[in-house]
Structure 1
Amino acid sequence: MNRLIPLLLALPGLALAQGASPLALNLTQSLIQTVQEGGKATEKRTPGYTRVRPGDLLAQNVTARNVSARTLANVAVKLPVPAGHVYVSPDGTAATGVRTEYSIDGGKTFAPAPLKKKVTVTENGKAVTKEIEVKPNEYDAVRWTIATLPAGTEKTLGFRVQVK
C-alpha cells in the first residue's frame, strides 16, 4: 500500500503558502517473513500484500521528502500504531539527525524510550504509587523529529508491528 500524504503541520520558522506543503509523505507497508535461502534464514519483504494473520510481522515506513527550495528544520513526523496491531521495534537503523519519541496516550504526549508511567498498587493494605517502565508493546504512536531536511532530500523512518 503506497500513498502520498501531504503534511499539514506548521513547521517552525516557515510560512506555508495557502494549501502548499513543503513536505510530502509516502507511507508504505510490507509483510515481513523469514524464509530459507541457500540454507540461511533471511528476511523477505512483501509490499502490496492482501492478507495478514494474527502474529504476522509488518513494516510501517514513511518517507518524508522536502519538496521546497529551502532547508526545513525540526520537521515532526508522527505515525500511529495501526489499530489491531502491536508495536514491536524500530525498522532499520536509526537515521542520523533524527530524534525518535514514543507515545502511550494516543499521540497526545511523546518522550524518548524507555517510557515510564505511574501505577497505583496495594502494599500492606495501603495504596502506593510507583513508577514503572512501559513495555514497547504498549506504544501507540511514534514521532520522529528531523533536525534538518535539505531541499530535495528525503528520510525514510519506520517501525515494525505485529498483527493481533
Structure 2
Amino acid sequence: MKTRTPILLTALLVGTALAQGAAPLSLNLNMSLVRSVKVDGKVTEQFSPSPSNVQPGDLISQVVNVRNTGSRSIKNVPVTLPVPKNTVYVAPEKDMSVARTEYSIDGGKTFAAAPLKKKVTVTENGKTVTREVEVKPNEYNAVRWTITEINANQTLKLGYRIQVR
C-alpha cells in the first residue's frame, strides 16, 4: 500500500487559516490515528498522536483546540477546517464542545446544516428530471463551526474524523 503523508502537512498548514477575523484566539490542530483494539475482551479506540505515516483506509481524528486568549468573551466565532485532499469526511468527533456545525460541498463557498441537499439531473422514462437528493457525508469537503460565545481564557475542542483514501 502507498503511504500518504501529504494530508498531514496540508492539515497542519491549515491551522493559520482556521479562524476568521482578528479575534484574540489561539488555534491548535491535533491529528491522531484511530485504531480499534481489544482490551480485556472489549473493543476500544486507541489514539496515536501526530502519525508520521498513514495508509489508505486509516481513520484520523482531527481536533482543533480553540482558546480565547483575550480578556473578554467573544461571540459568534466561526472556525473553518477543510477536509484534506486524499481523505473523506466520516463523522463529527465524539464528546466535543457544542457549537453550530455546518458543512460544505463546494470547497467552503457555502455552508449549511446537515443533511445537505443538492440537485441532480437524471433521465427517467426518456425525460430529463431534476431531483433534490441528500448529500452523503463523504462528499463534505469543509466543516465550519460557529461558537456562540467563548469566554476569556476558555478553551473549546472541535473536531471530526476522516478516512484516508
When the two structures are superposed, what TM-score results if normalisation uses the length of structure 1?
Answer: 0.88
2:156 maps to 1:162? no
Identify the residue that residue 84 of structure 1 maps to in structure 2.
86
* Alignment match of 2:54 (pick from 52, 57, 79): 52
Identify the residue that residue 131 of structure 2 maps to in structure 1.
130
* Distance in 2, Cα, partners of 1:124 & 1:40: 52
1:106-117 matches, within 5 Å, as 106-117=107-118
If each structure's helix is expressed as a fraction of its own residues, which one has the higher value? 2
Contact 2:90–2:160 (Cα < 8 Å) also in 1? yes
Which blocks of at least 5 consecutive residues in structure 2 are unaligned?
1-7
Contact 1:53–1:163 (Cα < 8 Å) also in 2? yes
* Distance in 1, Cα, partners of 2:157 & 2:143: 14
Q: CA RMSD in A?
A: 1.7
Identify the residue that residue 139 of structure 1 maps to in structure 2.
140
TM-fit CA distance, 1:153 = 0.3
Contact 1:7–1:23 (Cα < 8 Å) also in 2? no
Corresponding residue SS for 2:44? strand
When the two structures are superposed, what TM-score results if normalisation uses the length of structure 2?
Answer: 0.87
Corresponding residue SS for 2:163? strand
* Alignment match of 1:40 (pick from 36, 39, 42): 42
Identify the residue that residue 151 of structure 2 maps to in structure 1.
150
**Alpha-carbon displacement from aligned partner over 1:131-155 (angstroms, at most 9, x marks no partner):** 0000000000000000000010011
The count of aligned residue pairs is 154
Specify the code of the residue in structure 2 equivalent to 1:113.
Answer: A
Identify the residue that residue 23 of structure 1 maps to in structure 2.
25
* Distance in 2, Cα, partners of 1:133 & 1:93: 26
TM-fit CA distance, 1:92 = 1.1
Contact 1:5–1:24 (Cα < 8 Å) also in 2? no
